[in-house]
Amino acid sequence: MTTRLGVRRILMGAAAPLLAIVVAVVVTSLILLVAGDPVGAVWAQLFKVPLPRQIVAIINAGTVYYLSAIAVAIGFKMNLFNIGVDGQYRVASFAAALFAGQGWLPGWLNVIVALLVAMASGALWAGIAGLLRVTRGVSEVISTIMLNAIATFLVAFLLSKTAVKVVGSNATNTKPIPEGSRVPGISLDGLIATPSRVYGLIVLAVVVGFLYWFVLNKTRFGFDLRATGRSETAAVASGVNVKRMVFTSMLLSGAAAGLVGMPLLFGQDYVYGDTVQSGLGFAGIAIALLGRNNPIGIAFAALLFAFLDAQGNGLQITAGVSDRLVLVIQGVIVLSVVIAYEVVRRAGIRLEQRTVAAQLAEQARTPLEGARS
């Protein structure tokens, strides 16, 4: 019984995203056909085997996406829609870059404290939304959108005040992190031949993913959090202090969001500047949905998005199609996957109810038939 339901759950869990990807391919092909673009060339580019350096780029981009999606998923588990991951990670990246750039602490200590600074700043920024929600009942959707905008202006302002000017450069950057505090990349020598390195802070993503799973599923706190997400009314009746829970999970989500930019900061850019990657928080929302808030599912979803990004980069060059097509594909995947999940979820509930009813009926019928005859 248990295993049958379990296997079925896994199959159904996998069926939905696969179906969604197929739907996305079909829909995108139709769009391409209508636009008169070369359908074959587009898919050839998108699904060609990536080169070794591109594989590394996919893993690296996936690492960052993963952290972002976990930050979003923490909120989702509580039925909180933290749109503000985007602003939170930018505030946190700036704070950490500013701190680490000073080189007050030597080597790894500088890295570790900078990570804590990032988590604290992300948590602080998300905490504002949490506080507004529990004290004033402001929807976190609204407040985090506003906080994203405020973060942009605040960081741009502070960056202009703290930027270090390089002669001949038009870029605005914080002071670079000292050599000794840069996190070396991990070489994939022996697996694939490329000088590119995987971000050393991929370890961070693994740790965060594990903690996410462990805290949610194994701890009392995680139980309370999931209970609140599943049914706030039942959680209240069970003694969960929902306000405190909302605030705490916003803090946690923000702390995780604070880590999003860290692999970039310590593994690639070494500064926070005006050409830093943006929009990671929004990608995280889509990836968390695609990965069903499951730490493993999110890993696959993050890699899929990173794969599409990397493969899409060459679209303009090899197929003469704008690489924004990738955004369309990603959008369609998310839409169809959410629809597919809902359909599968409802079907699953019905199926289980029927299975249970049928099994009970079977248990009960046998003696009854005998009694009635």
Partner 1 sequence: MRHATKLAAIAAAAALSLAACGSSSTPSPGAGDTPAGTGGAALKVGMAYDVGGRGDQSFNDAAAAGLDKAKTELGVETKEASAVNGEAESARKERLQQLIDAGYTNIVAVGFAYAKSVGQVAKANPEVKFAIVDDASPDSAGPNVDQITFAEEQGSYLVGAAAALKTKSNHVGFIGGVQTDLIKKFEAGYVAGAKAVKPDIKIDVKYLTQPPDFSGFSSVDKGKAAAEGMYQGGADIIYAAAGGSGGGVFTAAKAAGKLAIGVDSDQAKTAAPDVRDVIMTSMIKKVDVGVYDFIKSVKDNTFKAGNRVFDLAAGGVDYSTTGGKIDDIKSKLDEYKAKIISGEIKVPTS
Partner 2 sequence: MCVITSEPDPQRTSEDAAIDGGSMSRTEPVTTEGGSGTPVVVLRGITKRFPGVVANKDIALTVERGTVHAIVGENGAGKSTLMKILYGVQQPDEGTIVIEGKELTLRTPSDAIAAGIGMVFQHFQLADNFTVLENVVLGAEKLHGIGDRARRKISEISDAYGLGVRPDALVADLGVGARQRIEILKVLYRGARIIILDEPTAVLVPQEVDELFGNLRELKSEGLTVMFISHKLDEVLKVADAITVIRRGTTVAEVLPEGVTARDLAQLMVGSELPSPSTEESTVTDRPVLRIESTTVADPLGGRDVLTDIDLTIHAGEIVGIAGVEGNGQAELVEVIMGMREPASGQIVLGDIDTSDWHTREIREAGIGYIPEDRQRHALLLEAPLWENVILGHQTDPVNLTGPGNTLIDAAAAKRETQEIVDLYDVRTPSINVTSGSLSGGNQQKLIIGREMRRNPRVLVAAHPTRGVDVGAQAAIWDHIKAARRDGLGVLLISADLEELVGLSDTIRVILRGRLSGDFDPDTVTKEELGAAMTGAADVQPRSDEPDAVEPDAVARDALDAPSSHPSRREAPPASPTERSQP
Specify the stretch interacting with partner 2 by CB under 8 A; choose among 1-9, 29-37, 86-94, 309-317. 1-9
What are 324's two structure tokens?
């924004």
Residue 39 tokens read as 């359908």
In angstroms, the CA 361 to CA 369 distance is: 11
Residues 157-186 that bind partner 1 (CB under 8 A): 159-160, 163, 165-172
Answer yes or no whether residue 342 interacts with partner 2 by CB under 8 A: no
372 touches which of partner 2, partner 1, none (CB within 5 to 8 A by kind)? partner 2
Minimum CB separation of residue 277 from partner 1 in Å reads: 4
User: If binding is defined by CB under 8 A, does position 314 make contact with partner 1?
Assistant: yes
- CB of 303 closer than 8 Å to CB of 70: no
CA dihedral 61, 63, 68, 73 (to 10 degrees): 130
Say whether residue 362 binds partner 1 (CB under 8 A).
no
Closer by beta carbon to partner 1, 1 or else 49 = 49
Q: How remote is the C-alpha of 365 from its chain's centroid?
A: 49
Mark out the alpha helices in 231-324 (DSSP H runs). Answer: 232-237, 242-259, 262-264, 280-290, 295-313, 315-318
Which residue, 258, 248, 207, 259, is CA-closest to 225? Answer: 248
| Residue 224 binds partner 1, judged by CB under 8 A | no
Residue 29 contacts which entry, partner 1, partner 2, none (Cβ below 5-8 A, type-dependent): none
Buried b / exposed e along 174-205 (16+ C-beta atoms within 10 A): bbbbbeebbbebbebeeeeebebbbbbbbebb
User: Is the Cβ of residue 105 or residue 338 nearer to partner 2 in the bound state?
Assistant: 338
- The residue within the footprint of partner 1, chosen from 27, 345, 351, 355 (CB under 8 A), is 345
Footprint of partner 1 on 95-134 (CB under 8 A): none
Q: Residue 291 CB, nearest distance to partner 2 (Å)?
A: 18
How many Cβ atoms are within 10 Å of 291's Cβ, its own excluded? 26
Total of residues contacting partner 1 (CB under 8 A): 65
- Nearer of residues 8 and 345 to partner 1, judged by Cβ: 345
Select from partner 1, partner 2, none the partner in contact with residue 234, using the beta carbon and a kind-dependent cut-off of 5 to 8 Å: partner 2
Count the neighbouring beta carbons within 10 Å of the beta carbon of residue 124.
Answer: 17
* Residue 279 main-chain phi, psi, to 5 deg: 80, 5
| φ, ψ for residue 82, nearest 5 deg | -85, 85
C-alpha–C-alpha distance, residues 157 and 160, integer Å: 5
Among 90, 122, 125, 246, binds partner 1 (CB under 8 A): 90
Select the residue interacting with partner 1 from 29, 152, 194, 294 (CB under 8 A).
Answer: 152
Interface mask toward partner 2 for 206-245; x: CB under 8 A: ------------xxxxxxx-xx--xx-xx-xxxxxx----
Beta carbons of 37 and 324 less than 8 angstroms apart: no
Instruction: Please report, as residue ranges, which positions from 240 to 279 form the binding site for partner 1 (by CB under 8 A).
Output: 264, 268-269, 273-279
* Interacting residue ranges for partner 2, rule: CB under 8 A: 1-2, 5, 218-224, 226-227, 230-231, 233-234, 236-241, 349, 351-361, 363-365, 368, 371-372
